[in-house]
Amino acid sequence: MTEARDEAWRALTLHPDPTLEELFAADAERVDKLSSRLELGESGILFDWSKTHLTAELLGEFESFAEACDFPEMRRKLFAGEVVNPTEGRAAEHSALRGVGKESSVEEAAALLERMKLLVEAIHEGALGEVKHLIHVGIGGSALGPALAVDALSRDLSLVDVHVVSNIDGVALEAAFAACDPATTWIAVASKTFTTIETMTNAQSVLTWLDQNGVADPSGRVIALTADPEKAVEWGVDETRILPFAESVGGRYSLWSSIGFPIALAIGWEDFQALLDGAAAMDVHFRDTDGRDNVALRAAFADQYYTRIRGCQTRAVFCYDERLGLLPDYLQQLEMESNGKSVHVDGTPVEGTTAPITWGGVGTDAQHAVFQLLHQGTNLVPVDFIASIAPGDVLDPAHHRILLTNCFAQGAALMAGGNMSADGKDPARAFPGDRPSATILCDDLDAATLGALIAFHEHRTFANAVMMDINPFDQFGVELGKKMAKDIEGGEADFDASTEALLKAAGLA
Ligand code: F6P
């Protein structure tokens, strides 16, 4: 940390911590000051951070701190396509796929997406024969985004039945086989590197299944989604069926690229474009808005406050929308793989905590399972609630009304606290209150909204990384375990006594 940073940080830690109740009592305009809307054409999203402990003073200090961390310059570099991932010498150009970034990268990305569009439309028009099912094999960033978007956006109408399979456990693939007719099934092999063992093994097993079920040319059914087309050719994919994307697009930031092929196949190109456009609206907001008015930066201020000043070890996300059931999983990779680091950009150790553990679920289910700890446990857990004003169902409106009232009631209860016993004294029925939450309220959960929501979290993650002076775009922490598994496979195992005994017990050594 530079001196200016240290000083700005010290100023932040010296603030008193008024309670939420005190903050609301002191400022009648608190909600207006800490809420803002992102407009997305016909719809929009409200970001309400008023139930957090951010104050005007804290926001001012955080703005100075972000300046001292070179946030404006780092943000400029991000959108200019300059190197922001120094350990791998790469830019991070996911926003170029949405049309926001360095001009040449935006043009290249548009050309690649045009190629994908042609293939998607050809399939929809029947030019490749009957394609009813797609088995999309990929893992991590090559699966979580597609799975989330397909699940969120194609419930009413799916143009092609998509099954995202990630786990190497054959049980996952068998479930997809059981749901697909081999005669009308295609396979997307999604891997940035085209070397990931889970994906390549699963892909091979899909080919075997097609072959065993009478498909004459299983390889002809493969579409490769990758940043390494040569590897795909070596693996046997026809060059015309390879949809490449740029090396500068990180795995967990790649759903906007050809990795999003199954999304476009399921929801159609127009909606896929809307997903990109929604993300672009958030890009432009994040790029052009300074300080507390920038919704992703403001959220990162709260994240820094709770994690690094109040010592919160986790942050939770509860989606009061069944369609967003996979969002917590997606955010886990985005936030924990990006910011779960212990060293600064220059390699020196970070003092204190970096990324909190991201976890969550769907409301109201989670209320009946884990909210006990949020209300009365000893951990302080900042919570994000995400909901949509428009319902995703056409049942009795009571469903959606109860869903939303519960969402808002939980935020209010966490903040207010109280005692639910008759005499107001029973400690077992006491709620300490003053527990923070933020609410992201969408007008509707359409494709543009989902795009903006995901881009909001990408930029929030980036802003957090800049304020911790860490590189959010590498992920070396996943490598050691992978290498050891390979060593076992190659018979080179020389492990600790416990691991040796486990290998023996399982008949693997
Ligand atoms: O092991 C972690 C990781 O490298 C992720 O970062 C990535 O999203 C995932 O594996 C899949 O990688 P690939 O797309 O190269 O198969």
The CA distance from 196 to 478, in Å, is: 12
As a whole number of angstroms, the distance between CA 348 and CA 367 comes to 41
The DSSP element (H or E) to which 164 belongs, if any, is: strand 161-165
Establish if 355 belongs to a structural domain: yes
Q: Does 472 sit in the ligand 1 pocket, CB within 6 Å?
A: no
Is residue 83 assigned to a domain? no
- Find the 141 Cα to ligand 1 centroid distance in Å: 6
HEC string of 458-470 equals: HHHHHHHHHHHCC
Domain identity same for 201 and 347: no
Clarify whether residues 324 and 462 are in a common domain.
Answer: yes
* 337 included as an active-site residue: yes
Ligand 1: does its nearest atom lie under 6 Å from the Cβ of 142?
Answer: yes
Name the pLDDT band for 1 (thresholds 50, 70, 90). Answer: low
CA 432, 436, 439, 440: dihedral to nearest 10 degrees? -150
User: For atom 5 of ligand 1, which residue has the closest CA?
Assistant: 140
In the predicted structure, residue 493 carries a pLDDT above the cut 80: no
CA dist list (Å): 127 to 124, 176, 327: 8, 24, 34
Is residue 141 within 6 Å of ligand 1 at its C-beta? yes
Q: Which of 272, 298, 333 is at the close of a domain?
A: 272
- Partnered with residue 441 across adjacent β-strands are 46, 387
Q: Are 463 and 72 in contact (CB under 8 A)?
A: no
Same domain, yes or no, for 494 and 441? no
In a domain, 87, yes or no: no
- Asked whether residue 458 is domain-assigned, the answer is yes
pLDDT tens digit string along 332-391? 999 999 999 999 999 999 999 999 999 999 999 999 999 999 999 999 999 999 999 999
Q: Other CB atoms closer than 10 Å to residue 366's CB: what's the count? A: 20
- Here the CATH number for the domain that contains residue 141 is 3.40.50.10490
Residue 315 belongs to what domain range?
Answer: 3-68+289-474
Residues contacting residue 409 through CB under 8 Å, at least 6 positions apart = none
Strands 437-442, 43-48: pairing kind:
antiparallel
Q: Of 63, 335, 337, 458, which one is the catalytic site residue?
A: 337
From CA 412, how far away is CA 420, in angstroms rounded? Answer: 15
231 and 212, same domain (yes or no):
yes
Residue 463: what residue type? A
**Cβ(252) to ligand 1 under 6 A?**
yes
Q: Using alpha carbons only, how large is the chain's radius of gyration in Å?
A: 24
Q: Which atom of ligand 1 is nearest to the CA of 193?
A: 15
**Gap between the Cα atoms of 452 and 457, Å rounded:** 9
Total of domains in the chain:
3
**Containing H/E element for 438?**
strand 437-442
Exposed e or buried b for every residue in 314-328, given b needs 16+ CB within 10 A? bbbbbbbbebbbbbb
Q: Give the model's confidence band at 163: pLDDT under 50 very low, under 70 low, under 90 confident, else very high.
A: very high
The token duo for 336 is: 């924990």
Helix ranges (H only) for 321-430 are 327-331, 338-339, 371-376, 398-416
Q: Is position 88 within any domain?
A: no
Last residue of a domain, one of 272, 305, 324: 272
- Tell me, what's the pLDDT at 485? 84
Q: How far is the CA of 254 from the centre of ligand 1 (A)?
A: 10
Does residue 243 surpass a pLDDT of 80? yes
Q: In 3D, which of 106, 128, 132 has the Cα closest to residue 240?
A: 128
Give the count of alpha carbons within 13 A of 312, CB side only. Answer: 22
216 and 353 share one domain: no
User: Which candidate, 55, 38, 39, 56, places its Cα nearest to that of 47?
Assistant: 38
In this structure, are 484 and 458 located in the same domain?
Answer: no
163 found inside a domain = yes
- Please tell me whether residues 137 and 161 are part of one structural domain: yes
Q: What percent of the chain has pLDDT over 70?
A: 100
For residue 426, report the distance from its CA to the centre of ligand 1, in Å.
51
Can you tell me the distance from the alpha carbon of 45 to that of 443, in angstroms, rounded to the nearest whole number? 6
Residue at which a domain ends, from 217, 238, 272: 272
Closest ligand 1 atom to 226 CA: 14
Instruction: Give the pLDDT confidence score for residue 480 in this predicted structure.
Output: 87
Q: Taking residues 129-137, what's their average pLDDT? A: 97
Looking from the CA of residue 144, the nearest atom of ligand 1 is: 8
Q: Is there a catalytic annotation at residue 73?
A: no
Q: Tell whether ligand 1 has an atom less than 6 A from the beta carbon of residue 228.
A: no
Question: Which candidate, 165, 233, 234, 153, places its Cα nearest to that of 198?
Answer: 165
State which ligand 1 atom lies nearest to the alpha carbon of 199: 16
For the chain, the average pLDDT equals 96
Catalytic pick among 125, 239, 270, 368 = 368
- Name the nearest CA neighbour of 286 among 50, 51, 98: 98
Predicted TM-score (pTM) of the model is 0.97
Ligand 1 neighbour 254 (Cβ under 6 A): no
Amino acid at 92: A
For residues 334 and 366, membership in a common domain is answered with: yes
What are 232's two structure tokens? 């795909």
Same domain as 317, residue 227: no
Model confidence at 481, in pLDDT bands (50, 70, 90)? confident
90 lies in some domain? no
Same domain, 489 and 383: no
pLDDT of 495 reads 87
475 Cβ below 6 A of ligand 1: yes
Is 284 within a domain?
A: no
Residue of 132, 482, 486, 504 marked catalytic: 482
Percent of the chain past pLDDT 90, that is, above it, reads 92
Are residues 308 and 442 part of one domain?
yes
DSSP code of residue 66: H
Co-location of 132 and 253 in the same domain:
yes
Q: Cα separation of 477 and 315, whole Å?
A: 21
SS3 415: helix
247 lines ligand 1 (CB under 6 A): no
> pLDDT tens-digit profile of 452-462?
999 999 999 99
